[in-house]
Every structure is written in C-alpha cells, then in structure tokens.
Amino acid sequence: MTQARTTAERVLALLAERGETLAVAESLTGGLVAAELTSVPGASAAFRGSVTAYATALKQELLGVDGTLLAERGAVDPEVARQMAAGVRTALGADWGIATTGVAGPEPQDGRPVGTVFVAVSRPRGGEKVAALRLNGSRAEIRRESVRSVLGLLSGELRENARAQDTEQNGGN
C-alpha cells in the first residue's frame, strides 16, 4: 500500500467522521488525486468530486481563478493554487478544497523550471494554506509526489482544525 493511499484513507475517514466533504482541483496531476481518493472503499461518504483544469483558461472559467493573475504570473503560482482550492470548494459545494498546479515536465512552463509545484488547501470557514515544492525526478515521479504532498497537507490541516475545535469546545485553553 502506498503512502498516498494510506493518507487518502486517513483523510477520508476523518472527513466522514466529522460529516465534512472534500473537492479537488487538479492541473499537473491530471486526475491522480481524485483517483487516489476514489480507490478507497467508501470514499463517497466524503469525496464530492474533482475538476481537472489542465488548460490555463479552465482555471479561470471553472474555478474562478483571477484572469489578470493568470495573465501576469501564469498557472504555476502559489496564488493560483490558493484560488483553485477555494474555487473548487465553492464550485462543488464542499467543506474542504485541495489543489495542485505545477510543472511536471519535460519542459519549463511560465518561466518555472520542471519540478516547481504548488499545492493548496482551502478550509471550511475560510482561509487557505499553500505549500511550495521543488521536486526532482521523472514526470511520473513529480506527479506522484505532488499527490502525496497535497494529501499530506490536507491531513495536517485536518489535524490542526480538529485541535482548534477541541480548544474552542474546552474553553479556549
């Protein structure tokens, strides 16, 4: 069993336990995050769906990413990842949104070298977290590591969110 698979199982179990849902926006991973999540039996209890916005224009049209941002910085940008995660959360009516954008190769894109990846999480009550990655390896390895990384980022945010809720419920200590 892969590390991504066990992380997918863990995040889906946490989401289902809390009655929360997840939506995914993917670019360089081309549906691999959704495939990893849906390989888990019972995923439908928490997974709403995904948008694979591989073409830059679709990031704006389907996910609401700012067109000026895309024109000025290109699709491989931390703010684009943040807006993709927030946009898919809204578009698919989910509590949580995650996103991947980057360059898997073989050529640089938007002035960014191969292996430049941004992954993001959008939380239920607003706010996003973005992680910048500099990955090495083949195209397939970069894509696989991007899946692992976005699921890991979500896992960490779910744990942090649970601790914050526990603190609120226990008097703020």
- Model pTM score: 0.93
Per-residue pLDDT tens digits for 137-161: 999 999 999 999 999 999 999 998 8
Which pLDDT tens digit goes with each residue over 54-79?
Answer: 999 999 999 999 999 999 999 999 99
Closest CA to 150 of 85, 104, 70, 95: 85
95-133 burial code (b ≥16 CB/10 A, e <16) = bbbbbbbbbbbeeebeebebbbbbbbbbbeeeebbbbeb
pLDDT digits 0-9 by tens, 6-57: 999 999 999 999 999 999 999 999 999 999 999 999 999 999 999 999 999 9
For domain 3-169, which architecture applies? Alpha-Beta Complex (3.90)
pLDDT for res 2:
67
Show me where the domains of the chain are located. 3-169
